Structure formats: C-alpha cells, structure tokens
C-alpha cells in the first residue's frame, strides 16, 4: 500500500515592499514575493538567474540597523524585511573608441581619473552581491595591474551597487569592464583554439549545418534538441561525441 504524504502548508510571513506590508510565503525569493504581492515587472526583471545584475535590491532586516543588498531573483525573503528594488541610476561612463585605445594603465587613468578619489573605505566590496573584492581591483588598477583587475572583477555582473555606495563617486563596474576588455582583447595572448575556430567559420565549415537548422520548423528544432547527443555527467576529458563534424580537427 502506498503512503500518502501529507501536504505541508507553507508558512506566511510579513514583508514590507515600498513601505507597504504584505503577507507572502516564506520560501519565495524577493522577486517572486513581489509578484505574489501583485507587482508586475515591466523592467528590472532581467535574467532571473543571478547573472545579469538587473534586479539589484537593498533591504533592511527587522531590528537590524544595517543596509543589506542582493539580487531579487536570488535572495529569499525574511520575516519583517523592508525592501525596495533600485531603479536605474546613471554612473559616469567614459566614451572611447576601443580600436584606438591603448591597452595601458595610463589610458585607463586618463579615461577615469576619478579612480584616484578612492579612499579605501571598502563600502564597494561590502555591498557587492557577487562577493567581488571591488576595492582590490580598484587598487590593482591604481598601481597599473590590468591583469589582476581583470581577474578579480571577473564575476562582476554590472549591477552598479558598488557605485551607489562609493564616497568618491567612482563608477567601479564601468572601469572594471574596460580593464577586462583591454586584457582579453589586446593584452592576453590569443587562444589557438579560438583562432582555429574563427578560421573554420570564415572558411564556411559550418554553413551547411546552419542552413539545415534554419530550414527546420519549431517542432523539428525541438526534436533535434531533445535527441541530441549529450556529454555524460561523469565524462572525463577524453570524451567526444560520435559525430565530430562540429569540432576542431
């Protein structure tokens, strides 16, 4: 005989959205709790996967004087939470032509001289929802180490929360993006695999495959996707699909 599992009723908790009290299930993220409360996201919803930075949120916990930050799509609500989503706010972004800019620290310093207004308060790091050591990459750029800045800021999702708390009003995330662009595009040695792939694309190696996909209707595409050969979960580095037409030689 089968055992019938008893349905567990989800506990409801009180949260305050834009100052108004709502009762929401305790298991929801901030984003889902706001939708449960009746809010509709016209903008600021983003990817819902924690990688785009569009849903940056600040909140306070009951009885706690601190301001916390997070992504609304990832942060779970807590009893007595007071929260609001931040609208877009402009941060200075330098205008430059990537093809002409030199891949040097001096070029970054000229475009963003406010970098040297940093007082090392570390408020930028404390508010980062991705736990990026923002002050560390700012310090790296001040001493001219683009490689270190690119590596430290790799997980930045461009939410802009660092800039919102900066006493020096520095657009840290824009500066870090420039550092990664210069490092990846002009300083770091080119990947031989990437070069070979680009050459294959230019030579038309994948034209027939793309044409075949473009000729399929929606149902055929769904079938091709679900029936594709997938890499086993426990495959080692020597694994290859049975059809290697799409791989490099």
- In the three-class reduction of DSSP (H, G, I as helix; E, B as strand; rest coil), residue 82 is classed as strand
Cα separation, 229 vs 142, whole angstroms: 48
DSSP category for residue 117 = G
User: Can you say whether residue 204 is alpha, beta or left, with left for phi > 0 and alpha for psi between -120 and 50 degrees?
Assistant: left
Q: What is the mean pLDDT of each run of 10 residues along the chain (249 residues)?
A: 56 94 96 94 81 88 89 94 83 93 96 96 93 97 97 94 92 96 93 90 93 95 92 87 78
pLDDT for the residue 46:
81
Q: Please state which CATH number belongs to domain 12-85.
A: 3.10.20.740
Cα separation, 91 vs 150, whole angstroms: 20
Cα torsion angle, 120, 55, 89, 17, sign: negative
pLDDT for the residue 78:
95
pLDDT for the residue 211:
95
pLDDT for the residue 45:
79
For residue 54, give Cα distances in angstroms to 50, 101, 170, 174: 9, 29, 19, 15
Cα separation, 175 vs 94, whole angstroms: 9
pLDDT for the residue 146:
97
Torsion of CA 78, 79, 82, 84, to 10 degrees: 40
For residue 36, give Cα distances in angstroms to 12, 47, 83: 12, 18, 15
pLDDT for the residue 4:
47
For the chain, what are the domain ranges?
Answer: 12-85, 105-187, 192-221
Superfamily of domain 105-187: Alpha-helical ferredoxin (1.10.1060.10)
| Strand partners of residue 76 | 29
pLDDT for the residue 171:
95
pLDDT for the residue 1:
45
**Residue 80 is encoded by which pair of tokens?**
């007595």
Angle, in degrees to the nearest 10, between helices 134-142 and 172-182: 60
**Percent of the chain's residues with pLDDT above 70:** 96
Cα separation, 28 vs 65, whole angstroms: 24
**Nearest C-alpha neighbor of 129 from the set 56, 29, 60:** 56
pTM here? 0.72
Note whether 127 and 161 are within 8 A (CB). Answer: yes
Q: List helix spans (H) across 9-128.
A: 30-36, 105-111, 123-127
């Amino acid at each position: 005989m089968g055992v019938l599992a008893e349905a567990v009723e989800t506990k409801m908790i009180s949260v305050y959205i834009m100052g108004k009290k709502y009762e929401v299930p305790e298991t929801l993220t901030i984003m889902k709790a706001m939708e449960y409360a009746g809010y509709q996201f016209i903008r600021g919803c983003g990817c819902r996967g924690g990688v785009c930075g569009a849903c940056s949120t600040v909140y306070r916990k009951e009885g706690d004087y601190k301001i916390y930050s997070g992504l609304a799509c990832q942060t779970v609500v807590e009893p007595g939470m007071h929260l609001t989503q931040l609208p877009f706010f402009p941060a200075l972004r330098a205008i430059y032509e990537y093809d002409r800019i030199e891949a040097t620290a001096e070029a970054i310093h000229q475009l963003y001289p406010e970098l040297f207004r940093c007082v090392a308060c570390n408020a930028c790091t404390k508010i980062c929802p991705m736990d990026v050591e923002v002050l560390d990459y700012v310090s790296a750029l001040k001493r001219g180490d683009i490689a270190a800045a690119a590596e430290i800021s790799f997980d930045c999702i461009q939410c802009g929360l660092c800039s919102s708390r900066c006493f020096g009003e520095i657009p840290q995330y824009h500066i870090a993006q420039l550092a990664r662009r210069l490092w990846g595009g002009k300083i770091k040695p080119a990947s031989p695999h990437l070069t070979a792939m680009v050459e294959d694309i230019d030579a038309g190696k994948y034209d027939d495959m793309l044409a075949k996909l473009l000729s399929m209707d929606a149902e055929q595409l769904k079938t091709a996707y679900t029936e594709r050969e997938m890499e086993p979960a426990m495959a080692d580095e020597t694994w290859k699909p049975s059809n290697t037409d799409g791989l490099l030689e």
